[in-house]
Structure 1
């Protein structure tokens, strides 16, 4: 398949050039739940990669990611197969981990400082940047905890373990085996794992680097040191006044593999991949069920029209360790962030789609009724309202409402093709194609904005 891609790169670029430069937006069906954010990070293409990018982010259009694959059509000419996926937050190739931390993660630290449970999961194909992202986040968390800007006196402790199948190991104690046991209250305890007090940012950095050196890795086609296990960094924040604890979990999930990688590495890698997939499937079920449970608590069961779901946290060691994150019976507040890391290369379209499907499955939106919004969306505009918006937002030279929307309502106008809208815009005196494209993007953005 990679040979097919390499032989048809020029054809791929010509097919991309023929695409509509302003894709039709996806219309969201609700808003994110109160305690869950699902995001995606697109890593940069490295200089050594031979393939073009197949991933195209639309952050200004509802955090949508377009994937354009080149299909070897049996009739001869290659064609594009396109799909799109939507997340709550989207970070493109130029986004730094510091920017991701400040926009997405930093609020988890004071949340845990004040007694809550915050959890970050990084998920994706091997070589997609999960470990790099989590390692930098751990460093930034240490800086936030130790910079003295948080109120009150706390003691900070860190434990880092490795989960390989159902076996667990202490990464801060030279990978010594530990036991996962359920106590009388039903919580899973990491028996034998060291808990180390952290006094400075340097302490945190040293411990993370030490743990990483003992992480279980193996070579794959995509990464010479792919993580073949789940690493869980637990930061316990003890309130020295009342003795209560806040928790912060930073989880670097095992890298997934493409089928071709498994075939090359044989039966051991196949068994390993099966264990990883079982645990990731259980994790998906637990995260999604917890989000549904939170939404039911927010809106009331009768408004969602469904029962509070069962959360199957006993299905894997990973979800047993993190039971308190998913348990709806827990009295502790929990917030969860997922970062789906993707490799943009055309050669990795399959794993990228799988990663983004996984991310979409974790998104459980709360329905938003019309009466819950401050105004109707553009889909509900009358022709007069649409023309008024065009008049106020057309730019200079003006785009004329009676030319662009002579009769249509908002819903009718939305059904027009992008080319038709641009054509109508360019019929207005002085309006060029660039202005027409910018206007169309702005108008379509209104359809997805409450």
Structure 2
């Protein structure tokens, strides 16, 4: 871990910080105490979203994606999904995965390289047109898809981080299942849920990152979208009638996984590099 990890479990009725991990904690610790219950909910039919949030170089991508020596939350989540499937022989499961990047408000399919994908609303669902999905039947096949997409992600060097994420990514696992006992019925109840693992680009200040030109433009886009996300979560926690989901691509895509039939956890990574950014993250 690059710094301390604070996790916030967001529910429709409010928000609260419920775990604090120090620098000695592992990704496994964060997974067991924070994200495992959300995986169980997703397998049971509830939408779930896991965010990694915080300033640049604070350890978000390490927490989500891991390293050569330590598995990240994403890989641990994938293994848990397949363990849950094996322990429930009464249901038949189908898994599909997609991987998108939001870079300066443009959506890219990281599995095909297609850019400028469009978002639309259809039958109370948010749809990304022409987004590809891959069928996966083993944990390794899911991880392979994730690694394939990660190679296309926008990264750059700044004064704060040699490999700074310059975009948000959403790795989505669609879990579809039905009871094996109802295979002879004319109307088989299909259970469908989305599990989103979101690696957010780090919030940053120009005087710390030394960003100029294209890097400066990227930083502005990152901060605007993070501000929009914070506003939406604040509105949801206050049960406001109107929520500004459509103000930003990130919140628009995640609309059904932030409000309604959903559970959300926010993993806040903080670093001693900047007190101001730490306070901003916690707020």
Shorter-chain TM band: 0.7 to 0.9
Indicate conservation of the 8 Å contact 1:237/1:245, yes or no: yes
TM-score normalised over the length of structure 1? 0.54
Q: Give the equivalent residue in structure 1 for 2:68.
A: none
- C-alpha deviation, 1:356, in angstroms: 1.9
Alpha-carbon distance between aligned partners in 1 of 2:12 and 2:150, rounded to the nearest angstrom = 29
Distance 2:178 2:92 in 1: 6
Deviation at 1:200, TM superposition (A): 1.1
- Does residue 88 of structure 1 match 2:26? no
2:214 is the alignment partner of 1:268: yes
Give 1:281 shift. Answer: 1.0
Equivalent position of 2:227 in the other structure: 281
The yes-or-no answer on 1:224 pairing with 2:224 is no
CA distance in 2 between counterparts of 1:275 and 1:258 reads: 12
In the TM superposition, residue 310 of structure 1 has moved relative to its aligned partner by 1.9
Q: Secondary structure at the match of 1:100?
A: helix
In 1, Cα distance between the equivalents of 2:135 and 2:21? Answer: 33
1:222 aligns to what SS in structure 2? coil
Q: Secondary structure at the match of 1:245?
A: strand
Of stretches 163-172 and 241-250 in structure 1, the one that deviates more from structure 2 is 241-250
User: What is the total number of aligned residue pairs between the two structures?
Assistant: 257
Q: Which residue of 1 aligns with 2:183?
A: none
Q: Which has the larger radius of gyration?
A: 1
| Greater relative contact order structure (CA < 8 Å, 6+ sep) | 2
Secondary structure in 1 matching 2:201:
coil
Aligned alpha-carbon RMSD (Å): 2.1
Does the Cα contact within 8 Å between 1:36 and 1:336 map onto a contact in 2? no
Runs of 4+ in 1 over 3 A off after TM superposition: 32-39
Give runs of aligned pairs for residues 232-381 of structure 1, distance below 5 A: 232-241=170-179, 242-262=189-209, 264-293=210-239, 308-327=240-259, 330=260, 333-344=261-272, 347-357=273-283
Of 93, 110, 115, the residue aligned with 1:171 is 110
Distance (whole Å) between structure 1 residues aligned to residue 14 and residue 20 of structure 2: 11
| 1:112 partnered with 2:4 | no
Contact 2:206 2:216 in 1 (8 A): no
TM superposition shift of 1:38? 6.4
1:138 to 74, 78, 81: 74
Tell me, in whole angstroms, the C-alpha distance in 2 between the residues paired with 1:203 and 1:259.
Answer: 39
CA contact (8 A) 2:100 2:170 kept: yes
Report the Cα distance in structure 2 between the residues aligned to 1:212 and 1:159, rounded to whole angstroms: 12
Higher strand share: 2
List runs of 5+ in structure 2 lacking aligned partners: 1-8, 66-71, 180-188
1:157 and 1:33 map into 2 onto residues whose CA distance is 26
